[in-house]
């Protein structure tokens, strides 16, 4: 009971007074410098997760460092297996993605939103889907999207809104029909 209250107080403190990267470090996740972390949940073995420098982990991402043990425990009561997860420098993990045990996300890789990553991702590669598959390279991404670069990254939210609302529709990415 007391442990649960302490956990809630810790969660409140980190949620409202510290950033999510500090909370991850508090739980045992090894987090590099200049990371943008958008999640509070790190699973039951956060100390098996390593996040490099300049990594962005967006909203709703889940890291799974174990799994499936209960299905085997009738035959082997103490069965448990784990896999470390490593996210290398400059990687990006899109919203709602799931990273499975034993996976390494390579340097500069991009995981598309909603992906289920069951295998390691090579550096500078884009993966997406369920299960995630290679869909391109970072160079492909730059080539396809450079014409849509609106240079707002360093602007305040107010300045960014002003710029985005002033742009013609042709400045925005538009997806083709299936």
| pLDDT tens figures, 15-59 | 666 788 988 998 999 999 999 999 888 989 999 999 999 999 999
User: The domain containing residue 12 runs over which residues?
Assistant: 2-137
Q: Mean pLDDT across the chain, nearest whole number?
A: 92
The answer to which of 12-16, 49-53, 64-68, 101-105 has the lowest mean pLDDT is: 12-16
DSSP SS3 for 34: coil
Pairwise CA distance, residues 73 & 81, whole Å: 12
- Specify if 24 maps to a domain: yes
- Specify if 174 maps to a domain: no
CATH assignment at residue 127: 2.160.10.10
In the chain, how many domains are there? 1
| Rounded (10°) CA dihedral 132, 135, 139, 142 | -90
The pLDDT assigned to 175 comes to 87
- Specify if 159 maps to a domain: no
Identity of the highest mean pLDDT range in 12-21, 97-106, 145-154, 165-174: 97-106
* Contact call for residues 138 and 121 (beta carbons, < 8 A): no
pTM of the model: 0.86
């Amino acid at each position: 009971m007391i442990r649960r209250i302490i956990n809630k107080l810790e969660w409140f403190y980190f949620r409202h007074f510290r950033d999510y990267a500090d909370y991850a470090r508090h739980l045992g996740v090894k987090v590099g410098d200049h990371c943008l972390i958008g999640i509070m949940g790190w699973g039951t073995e956060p100390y098996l997760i390593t996040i490099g420098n300049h990594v962005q982990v967006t909203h709703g991402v889940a890291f799974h460092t174990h799994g499936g043990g209960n299905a085997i425990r009738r035959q082997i009561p103490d069965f448990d297996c784990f896999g470390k997860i490593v996210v290398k420098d400059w990687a990006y993990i899109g919203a709602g993605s799931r990273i499975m045990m034993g996976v390494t996300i390579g340097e500069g890789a991009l995981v598309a939103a909603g992906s289920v990553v069951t295998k390691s991702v090579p550096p500078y590669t884009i993966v997406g889907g369920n299960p995630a598959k290679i869909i391109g390279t970072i160079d492909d991404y730059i080539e396809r999207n450079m014409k849509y670069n609106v240079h707002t990254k360093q602007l305040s939210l107010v300045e960014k809104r002003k710029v985005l609302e002033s742009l013609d529709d042709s400045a925005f990415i538009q997806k083709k029909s299936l």
